[in-house]
Structure 1
Amino acid sequence: MKRLLIILLLLSCYTSSYSQRGYKAESVLNYQKVDQKWLHFGFTLGVNSMDFAIYNSGIGDARAEQVVFSPGFSVGIVSDLRLHENWSLRFLPGLEFGQRSIQYSNLDVEEVNVESVLVNLPLLLKFRARRLNNYRPYLIGGASFKIDVQSQESLDPENDMLVRLKTTDVYAELGAGVDFYLPYFKLATELKFSIGLKDILNHEYDIDNPGYEGYSDAIRKMNSKIITLSFHFE
């Protein structure tokens, strides 16, 4: 993930530098008024891949790792506040749906599925390079507060749900994208990395379902990671 992030940043910087050197006027520039509005709105659709960074505790023989990835999807609303010609503040509340699987060794159940429905409340700062004809690359970064409305209060052994996640988490977010100016609206494609800053695993024992403590005891700490490819319509 770190390697992908470095590549993404290098490509974004190169694109920005190239657009400033190679700018040429075009006879028809689509939808210019959107960048002049002090506040504009839109909506966003996206696909995501949720992941865990798992740190094993070393207690007993059990080991945990995530090796199975399942695609999810995201929907949301775009609100963009213009701060400067190249800067804007963005608030994109929405929902993120996804699933992650933890694989265990030396325990009875080898795979535990964890589903999440996240209420996403990000506040992001967007820096845009100079517009080149009808596209404009940008970088984006900030923080997000997420609420998992799918988090369970108790285990569900019948469905192999043997770990629980905490309800809230704070994420650092960084990404890059390109604005495409079409005749009647602006379409942005964006790749963003979100890294959870808190231990997301609920380590409290479920007294109503004893005997499954080993699944949480095997993990010392677990952080959430999400990669999202978004399409913003503004």
Structure 2
Amino acid sequence: MRKILFIICCMFAFQSAHSQLFSKKKVQNDASGGNGQIDNNTLTWGYFLGFNSYDFKFTYNQNPDAIQLKPQLGFNVGLVGDVKLNNYMNLRLEPGIYFTTRNIEYPESYGLTDPVDRLREIKSSYVHIPLLLKIGTKRINNFKPFIVGGFSTSINLSSNEKNPDDNSNNQFRMKQRTFYYELGFGVDFYLYYFKFTPSIRGVFALNDELVRDRDPNSPWTSNIQKMQTRGIFINFTFQ
């Protein structure tokens, strides 16, 4: 699913860029309904809607069969605050809420023969707060490609970190706070009334998120050295 979404986004950006690059110069929209170029404003606001696909990167103490991941498509919504630093760089704050579900399946080699014990469904609702540096090219007609990167943190509203029950009672526990770095790219499209921006970003956790079971020999957590979130965000921003 993530590969399909990535290909669609790239095709959309390439088709739009190609149609403008290889045509004569067009009238430039100001993305503000005729009230002046939006890029002349030092501070601008907006919102975004989008999709996400989260999974985990596992690092093991030994080398048994890998835990299988079955991520599902999630939904994002949030706000955008953009500060213009110069004609090519912007500092952006994009707080949002991200809803996602991940399913993990343990192999039988972990000593789990009951199918119920081998499966864990992990539902998460994140308040995700990234601080990003956006670096764009020179505007070409009514579009402007860019790359973006930065650091972020999230609070998992669905975290059961403090739950006294663990996997022996079907409770797979994760930490509430996570830190990430992010990298991505996108294209600003200047329309008459607003600026529309499709973008794609990869997010990579910096800290271990797993809360271990009380039993040091737990088949669910004893062999996991680190469990770190990875994800892909596809956002559509309106400013």
TM band (smaller chain) = 0.7 to 0.9
| Percent identical residues | 34
Q: 2:43 aligns with which of 39, 44, 57?
A: 39
Partner of 1:164: 173
* Contact 2:30-2:38 at 8 Å conserved across structures: no
Report the Cα offset of residue 28 of structure 1.
Answer: 4.2
* Contact 2:69-2:102 at 8 Å conserved across structures: no
Partner of 2:80: 78
Mapping of residues 44-123 of structure 1, within 5 Å: 44-58=48-62, 63-106=65-108, 107=112, 108=114, 109-123=117-131
Letter in 1 for 2:25: A
Letter in 1 for 2:48: T
**Structure 1 unaligned blocks of 5 or more:** none
What is the root-mean-square deviation in Å for CA atoms of aligned residues?
Answer: 3.1
Partner of 1:140: 148
Partner of 1:201: 210
The secondary structure found in structure 1 opposite 2:56 is strand
Cα separation, 2, equivalents of 1:28 and 1:89: 24
> 1:160-193: CA deviations, max 9, x gaps?
43x2111111101000001111110011000000
Letter in 2 for 1:165: M
* Contact 2:98-2:125 at 8 Å conserved across structures: yes
The secondary structure found in structure 1 opposite 2:193 is coil
The secondary structure found in structure 1 opposite 2:37 is helix
2:202 paired with 1:228:
no
2:132 paired with 1:124:
yes
**Structure 2 unaligned blocks of 5 or more:** none
CA gap 1:55/1:28 in 2 versus in 1, 3 angstroms: closer
CA gap 1:198/1:28 in 2 versus in 1, 3 angstroms: closer
Cα separation, 2, equivalents of 1:35 and 1:28: 12
Partner of 1:26: 26
Partner of 1:176: 185
TM-score, normalization: structure 1? 0.82
* Contact 2:51-2:233 at 8 Å conserved across structures: yes
Cα separation, 1, equivalents of 2:153 and 2:77: 16
* Contact 1:24-1:133 at 8 Å conserved across structures: no
Cα separation, 2, equivalents of 1:181 and 1:190: 14
The secondary structure found in structure 2 opposite 1:123 is strand
Cα separation, 2, equivalents of 1:168 and 1:140: 23
Report the Cα offset of residue 30 of structure 1.
Answer: 3.9
Cα separation, 2, equivalents of 1:226 and 1:30: 34
Cα separation, 2, equivalents of 1:74 and 1:212: 37
Q: Paired residues, what number? A: 218
Report the Cα offset of residue 157 of structure 1.
Answer: 6.2
